[in-house]
């Protein structure tokens, strides 16, 4: 598979991880229609940057359906709010419930799309590089599982072929039984083989103190700059929430923003955060063009 590596993916995995955590948590916490919209737009732009049309196919296959359901379900089941639009039976369908549903839908869509981007960027090896230091034992298990899976799959194919040649081609009814039998054989093989692995580990001194952790990734200056900016933006956005500039409530009446000063600066900080990977990509593209033109 051809994987397009954007510029942000080339940053340190720790930086990527911190970024996704910040964006997803803030998207959940800052429940404000404008920031929700920006978050979804940012996630979609980055997803397209990462996977092109495939990401849109994903978006319309699942998140979009859940989003539509949310818009429909909230006003049907929640009758709070003071502006009835129409009545279903005796219960009013209110404008406020519609607006709340619209915000919730943006939140759900943005979080799902950020998770999609996260899946593309934080591949298993990059996740290991982050988790390896914090959770050495669990990430060792994680890496061993990743190694065992292809081995088990290979062995499963061998078992299946051997069984087929021996004449046990599963009929429709006994297909499950045959599959379970093969699963059981696979277990025997896996358990016996894994003991070898653990003996090798023990003889190489696993469990002794002073184990080190190898990671091929190095923190660079740009990672420091990025994380510093990330913290500044995140603190700004949280300050906006606390001061009430990013306040939003749908019930009983739609109310946006409590403070006098307006919310432009806070929204700008959040927008910069959400579009950071795209900005980095464009900046890199421009630099490349500029260098190219010099040749």
Partner 1 sequence: MDKGVKDITKESGARRDALLFAAGVICSVGVMLWAGFSGVDRAYLYAVILICFFVLAPFYISFEKGEPYAREIVLVSVMIALAVAGRAAFFWAPQFKPIIAIVIISGIALGARNGFVIGSMSAFVSNFFFGQGPWTPFQMVAWGLIGFFAGVFFSEKGRSLLPILIYGALSCFVLHGAITDIWTVLSITDKPNLGTVITVYSAGLIPDLILAIATVVFLLLLAVPILKKIKRVQEKYEI
Which residues contact partner 1 (rule: CB under 8 A)?
28-29, 31, 66, 69-70, 73-74, 76-78, 100-101, 104, 107-108, 111-112, 115-116, 118-119, 123-124, 135-138, 140-142, 144-146, 148-149, 151-153, 156, 176-177, 179-181, 183-184, 186-188, 190-192, 194-195, 197-199, 201-202, 206-207, 249-251
CB of 293 to partner 1, least distance (A): 40
CB of 215 to partner 1, least distance (A): 18
Q: Which is nearer to partner 1, 84 or 181 (CB)?
A: 181
CB of 222 to partner 1, least distance (A): 26
CB of 84 to partner 1, least distance (A): 18
Q: Which is nearer to partner 1, 19 or 118 (CB)?
A: 118
Instruction: Please give the full DSSP string across the chain, using - where no structure is assigned.
Output: ------TGGGS-HHHHHHHHHHHHHHHHH---HHHHHHHHHHHHHHHHHHHTHHHHHHHHHTHHHHHHHHHHHHHHH---SS-EEEEETTEEEEHHHHHHHHHHHHHHHHHHHHHHHHHHHS-HHHHHHHHHHH-HHHHHHHHHHHHHHHHHHHHHHHHHHHHHHTT-PPPTTTHHHHHHHHHHHHHHHHHHHHHHHHHHHHHTTTT-S------S----HHHHHHHHHHHHHHHHHHHHHHHTTT-EE-SSS-EE--STT-SHHHHHHHHHHHTHHHHHHHHHHHHHHHHHHH-
CB of 137 to partner 1, least distance (A): 5
Q: Which is nearer to partner 1, 116 or 266 (CB)?
A: 116
């Amino acid at each position: 598979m051809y994987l397009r590596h954007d510029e942000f993916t080339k940053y340190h995995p720790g930086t990527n991880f911190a970024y996704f955590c910040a964006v997803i948590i803030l998207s959940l916490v800052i429940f404000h229609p404008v920031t929700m919209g920006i978050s979804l737009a940012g996630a979609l732009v980055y997803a397209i940057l990462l996977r092109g049309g495939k990401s849109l196919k994903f978006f319309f296959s699942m998140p979009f359906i859940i989003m539509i359901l949310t818009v429909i379900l909230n006003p049907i089941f929640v009758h709070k709010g003071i502006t009835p639009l129409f009545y279903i039976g005796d219960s009013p369908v209110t404008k406020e419930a519609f607006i709340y549903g619209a915000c919730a839908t943006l939140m759900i869509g943005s979080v799902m799309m950020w998770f999609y981007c996260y899946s593309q960027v934080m591949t298993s090896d990059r996740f290991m590089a982050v988790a390896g230091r914090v959770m050495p034992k669990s990430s060792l298990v994680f890496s061993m599982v990743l190694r065992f899976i292809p081995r088990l799959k290979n062995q499963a194919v061998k078992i299946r072929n051997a069984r087929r040649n021996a004449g046990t081609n599963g009929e429709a009814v006994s297909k499950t039984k045959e599959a379970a039998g093969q699963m059981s054989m696979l277990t025997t093989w896996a358990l016996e083989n894994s003991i070898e692995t653990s003996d090798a580990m023990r003889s190489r001194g696993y469990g002794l103190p002073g184990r080190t952790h190898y990671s091929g990734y190095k923190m660079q200056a740009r990672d420091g700059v990025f994380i510093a900016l990330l913290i500044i933006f995140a603190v700004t956005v949280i300050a906006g929430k606390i001061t009430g500039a990013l306040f939003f409530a749908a019930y009983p009446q739609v109310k946006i923003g409590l403070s006098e000063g307006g919310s432009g600066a806070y929204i700008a900080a959040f927008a910069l955060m959400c579009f950071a990977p795209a900005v980095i990509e464009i900046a890199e593209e421009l630099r490349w063009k500029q260098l190219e033109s010099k040749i």
